[in-house]
Amino acid sequence: MYKGHARAYTNIALIKYWGKADQELILPMNNSLSLTLDAFYTETSVTFSSEYTEDQFYLDQQLQDQKATAKVSRFLDLIRNKAQSQLFAKVDSQNFVPTAAGLASSASGLAALAGAASAALGLSLDERELSRLARRGSGSASRSVYGGFAEWQKGNSDETSYAVPIASDDFEADLSMVFVVVNDHQKDVSSRDGMQRTVETSAFYDGWLATVPQDLEKARAAIQGKDFQALGEVTEASALKMHGTTLAAVPPFTYWSAESMRVMNLVRQFRNEGLACYFTMDAGPNVKILVERKNEAALVAKLTEHFAADQLITAHAGPGIKIQTKEVEA
């Protein structure tokens, strides 16, 4: 019997993914580009055994209910099929990320589960195969296989949709991201539901989709040229356009709160005062601010005038997934 263990880090999309072309396979409507960060991660251990009569899923040492376990089981079925195994599993996962609060816990969580479970069943997957597998659990998890910058290529099939690393000459080492946590509770509209509603009903969605290729091109060029301003500008623009699509959905909704808007206005104010920084937001109210590492302390000092210290979390570029396998007594 083998036990697989994996640690995967969250990533934040600079050029956003918003909308699925295939719900079952989780094929996206557009490519996306992200930065993996070191501040938030998930550690997961998976053990398969003939002694188990059903799958068990523990999250943060708490046995999860049938609904949460069923989602994990469906994902494990993909790995069991690949390994030609019918063994049940015990999954122990610890999230060092607020779950479902717009801080990308699904990315690190499903990447870690993919890595640990495949290792436990003896599957030696390369990074591309692991990225494809993680995608089946959560689209953004495909990018958490890699450290630094990664681009999830939308593809048009299960075989062609996966993330790839982006060569950057270590540009990510020059960057910091400061999280302003204005709400760490579970959000009202999940990413999955919000995405689907937007694709199906938003009058703005086609306009958003049409601009993504140009934004990706700008971001890649900025990374290659180590151009922080260009990367920051396109990052902020991508987030605003994505969130704009939700306002035209039927019924309309937004992930922004009054505090979210206050942070965004402060970022614009700081820029006007000469401190180069740019915001981005995922499907949640918390704001992430991209800043050069040399200006990180100055940004945090400014933010501390407006927010409590425990609302501010600083992150830097994080590593790719780490996987271990060990034999345990049957």
19: left (phi over 0), alpha (psi -120 to 50) or beta: left
CA distance 232 to 195: 24
Q: Which amino acid is at 40?
A: F
Per-residue pLDDT of 257-284, as tens digits, reads: 999 999 999 999 999 999 999 999 999 9
> In terms of DSSP H, where are the helices of the chain?
66-83, 105-120, 127-135, 191-201, 205-224, 228-247, 258-272, 296-304
Q: Which amino acid is at 325?
A: T
Number of independent structural domains in the chain:
1
Structure token pair of residue 247: 């306002």
Say what the alpha-carbon torsion angle 287, 293, 297, 301 is, to the nearest 10 degrees.
-30
Contacts of residue 284, defined as CB under 8 A and 6 or more positions apart, other chains included, come to: 101, 102, 103, 183, 187, 255
At which residue do the structure tokens 């994996």 appear? 6
CA distances from 18 to 35, 149, 180, 307, 314 (A): 17, 18, 22, 30, 25
Flag whether pLDDT at 221 surpasses 70.
yes
- The pair phi, psi for residue 203, each rounded to 5°, is -70, -20
Per-residue pLDDT of 275-316, as tens digits, reads: 999 999 999 999 999 999 999 999 999 999 999 998 999 999
CA distance 166 to 180: 27
Flag whether pLDDT at 185 surpasses 80.
no
pLDDT of residue 327: 75
Flag whether pLDDT at 330 surpasses 90.
no
pTM for the whole structure: 0.95
Domain that holds residue 45: 1-330
Q: How many CB atoms lie within 10 A of CB 41?
A: 25
pLDDT of residue 101: 46
pLDDT of residue 326: 79
Per-residue pLDDT of 25-80, as tens digits, reads: 999 999 999 999 999 999 999 999 999 999 999 999 999 999 999 999 999 999 99
Report the CATH number that the domain containing residue 106 is assigned in CATH.
Answer: 3.30.230.10
Percent of the chain with pLDDT over 70: 97
Per-residue pLDDT of 96-140, as tens digits, reads: 875 544 565 789 999 999 999 999 999 999 999 999 999 999 999
CA distance 69 to 57: 6
Could you say which DSSP state residue 17 is in? Answer: -
Per-residue pLDDT of 75-96, as tens digits, reads: 999 999 999 999 999 999 999 8
pLDDT of residue 186: 75
Per-residue pLDDT of 5-32, as tens digits, reads: 999 999 999 999 999 999 999 999 999 9
